[in-house]
């Protein structure tokens, strides 16, 4: 008989504003789920690829001029560069892939610049759909108190407030399309309290039933 692939793994995304605690929580998830032997940690934008280098330059040089739609397409292309790898690792190799930001940040940040939502979703359609998205929800005023923002483009209070509002729109569309979107109150307590919520949500999908193929983003 033909050998069966291992039970398929999982694809989980963490989303939220800058300073919501995504990187802290995802590092902990990575450990809890078995570390590098079983889990792959992805970060978007992936600044190491040729497209990622363009994005890094755009983010770190706020005087650089680039059309908002062109920027949006580059962020999406930066995900398409690794889409096949996500599928292979999850479906064939049984690995757990964790993404620090994903398509939902892509839509929310560009939406905060005033572009129409339907246009923004189109380059994301067909990408692997996370089995679970955890949205770490945080009041931008609280985020700003957490040691202040860095020097990158978007790291200022007006933009963060607009992004927060855009994430609300994204949440409605994405959860309305049947995707597994969970909002966690990242302002309630410290790292430990948020971790309890994160692990509670992730444990549910780790133990849950799933079909062998990942779904596609389709809103
Ligand atoms: P980090 O601070 O997480 O490195 O992100 N962004 C991110 C977009 O505008 N579109 C995207 O598709 C993604 C993934 C969010 C750097 C900034 O890039 C923004 C903050
Ligand atoms: Mg940042």
ipTM rounded to 2 decimals: 0.99
Task: Look at residue 78 and tell me whether its pLDDT is greater than 80.
Answer: yes
Mean predicted lDDT score pLDDT of the chain = 96
Domain presence at residue 93: yes
- CA of 53 from ligand 1 middle (Å) equals 13
Tell which phi-psi region holds residue 51, choosing left (phi > 0), alpha (psi between -120 and 50) or beta: alpha
Domain presence at residue 189: yes
**Domains: count for the chain:** 1
Domain presence at residue 219: no
Give the residue, out of 22, 51, 101, with the most ligand 1 atoms within 8 A of its beta carbon, to mutate for a pocket test: 101
Q: pLDDT tens digits, residue range 124-154?
A: 999 999 999 999 999 999 988 887 778 899 9
Task: Look at residue 66 and tell me whether its pLDDT is greater than 80.
Answer: yes
CA gap 151, 149 in Å, rounded: 7
- Four-residue CA torsion sign, 27, 29, 35, 37: negative
* Protein residue with least CA distance to atom 10, ligand 1: 106
Q: pLDDT tens digits, residue range 45-58?
A: 999 999 999 999 99
Domain membership of residue 123 as a residue range:
10-207
Residue 190's CATH number: 3.40.50.300
Domain presence at residue 214: no
- Whether ligand 1 lies within 6 angstroms of the CB of 45 is answered as yes
Spell out the residues 6+ positions from residue 103 whose beta carbon is closer than 8 angstroms to its own.
76, 79, 124, 127, 217
Domain presence at residue 1: no
* pLDDT on residue 147: 76
* pLDDT on residue 4: 77
Average pLDDT of 17-35? Answer: 96
Domain presence at residue 52: yes
* pLDDT on residue 2: 77
* pLDDT on residue 5: 74
Domain presence at residue 82: yes
Domain presence at residue 162: yes
Average pLDDT of 161-169? Answer: 98
* pLDDT on residue 1: 73
* pLDDT on residue 71: 98
Query: Whose atoms come closest to the Cα of 68: which ligand?
Result: 1
């Amino acid at each position: 008989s033909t050998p069966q692939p291992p039970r398929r793994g999982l694809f989980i995304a963490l989303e939220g504003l800058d300073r919501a605690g995504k990187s802290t929580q995802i590092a902990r998830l990575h450990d809890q789920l078995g570390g590098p032997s079983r889990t792959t940690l992805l970060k978007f934008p992936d600044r190491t690829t040729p497209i990622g280098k363009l994005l890094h330059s755009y983010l770190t040089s706020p005087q650089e001029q680039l059309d908002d739609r062109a920027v949006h397409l580059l962020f999406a292309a930066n995900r398409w560069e690794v889409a096949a790898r996500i599928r292979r690792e999850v479906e064939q190799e049984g690995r757990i892939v964790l993404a620090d930001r994903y398509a939902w940040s892509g839509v929310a940040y560009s939406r905060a610049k005033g572009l129409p939502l339907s246009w923004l979703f189109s380059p994301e359609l067909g990408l692997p759909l996370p089995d679970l998205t955890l949205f770490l929800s945080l009041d931008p005023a609280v985020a700003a108190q957490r040691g202040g923002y860095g020097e990158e483009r978007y790291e200022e209070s007006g933009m963060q407030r607009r992004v927060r509002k855009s994430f609300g729109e994204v949440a409605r569309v994405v959860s309305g399309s049947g995707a597994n979107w969970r909002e966690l109150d990242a302002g309630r307590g410290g790292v430990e309290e948020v971790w309890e919520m994160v692990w509670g949500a992730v444990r549910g999908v780790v133990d849950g039933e799933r079909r062998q193929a990942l779904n596609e983003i389709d809103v």
